[in-house]
Amino acid sequence: MNFTSNFNKKGYAIAENVFTAEFISELVLGYDLIVKQLEESGENINARWGSELTQNIEKNDSVVIHTHNVQSYSAIMLTMVQNRRLLDLAESLIGPDIILHHTKLFLKPPINGAAFPLHQDWSYFPTEKNSMIAAMVHLSDSTAEMGCIRVVPGSHKLGKLKKSDGHIHNPEIHDKYHLDEADPIIAKLGDITFFHCCSIHGSMPNVSDKPRKSILVQLYSGNDKIIDGNQHINVQLVLRGHNHRATRYNVETNAS
């Protein structure tokens, strides 16, 4: 089964050998520099959910280091989101017009890396045509012990579920599916996992002695539109093709 068929069937697919070994090394160095800068900033950089849904599987002081928009920190990250092979894969899923919504850095530290409850991403940045996807760039190995992402296979076909943001118990999700039973996405340094915005996913805590490093690249179709009133960061950077829904107002205000 090929990459696109896997994605359409399961709601996720893994791509290997997208970047050269040399470029991956540069990305890891850039990633580590961003983390060092965050740690020295004095800001609150711990984005753990602290959800009642995961309180029984993680420590009260669990940690996940996080920031949005890594391309605002480093040119190597901007080069990454413009990579031809990454965009070719994205085009096979959402078409030739590809818009960057935002990027996110996550670092799950060893032993005490936070868990993420089962949720759907669409809750945070919904679009009219439901074209939003994530490309998770693995900048370390990602194993079950390291708290890898887990996806409920085929759950994207359920569409948008109400109250699916993972902050409260939702019987349609949490009574039917269990985090530890979802497909673990075991990945190697340099792999990219793509998943649909309606795929139910989460992750267990990192209990290993190694950090889990990743960057999420959120992309949507240039023929789609962010639903009005959404307040999430949306950089609207055209990576390929054209943004057919851009207006003077929404570009200048960074609005929907």
**Crossing angle for the helix pair 84-94 and 3-10, nearest 10 degrees?**
50
pLDDT at 229: 79
The tally of domains found in the chain comes to 1
Find the domain containing 44 and state its range: 3-253
pLDDT at 20: 97
pLDDT at 231: 82
Residues near 32 by Cβ (< 8 Å), separated by ≥ 6?
A: none
The alpha carbons of the chain give a radius of gyration, in whole angstroms, of: 17
Tell me how far apart the alpha carbons of residues 160 and 121 are, in angstroms, rounded to a whole number.
9
Q: What is the CATH number of the domain that holds 196?
A: 2.60.120.620
* Single-letter residue type at 21: A
User: What are the distances in angstroms from CA 33 to CA 98, 127, 214?
Assistant: 28, 33, 14
Global confidence as pTM: 0.96
User: What are the distances in angstroms from CA 108 to CA 46, 52, 70, 90?
Assistant: 10, 19, 16, 26
Paired strand residues for 183: 151
Q: What is the pLDDT of residues 207-244, one digit of tens each?
A: 999 999 999 999 999 999 999 878 898 999 999 999 99
pLDDT at 250: 81
Going residue by residue through the chain, which has 256 residues, state the pLDDT in tens, using 9 for 90 and above: 699 999 999 999 999 999 999 999 999 999 999 999 999 999 999 999 989 999 999 999 999 999 999 999 999 999 999 999 999 999 999 999 999 999 999 999 999 999 999 999 999 999 999 999 999 999 999 999 999 999 999 999 999 999 999 999 999 999 999 999 999 999 999 999 999 999 999 999 999 999 999 999 999 999 999 998 788 989 999 999 999 999 888 887 766 5
pLDDT at 46: 97
Residue 115 and residue 147 in contact, taking contact as beta carbons nearer than 8 Å: yes
For the beta carbon of residue 142, count every other beta carbon within 10 angstroms: 27
pLDDT at 155: 98
pLDDT at 228: 82
3-state secondary structure the chain: CCHHHHHHHHCEEEECCCCCHHHHHHHHHHHHHHHHHHHHHCCCCECCCCCCCCCCCCCCCCECEEEECHHHCCHHHHHHHCCHHHHHHHHHHHCCCEEEEEEEEEEECCCCECCEEEECHHHCCCECCCCCEEEEEECCCECCCCCCEEECCCHHHHCCCCCCCCCCCCHHHHCCCCHHHCEECCECCCCEEEEECCCCEEECCECCCCCEEEEEEEEEECCCCECCCCCCCCCCEEEECCCCCCCHHHHHHCCC
**Which two three-digit tokens encode residue 159?**
């569409």
pLDDT at 256: 58
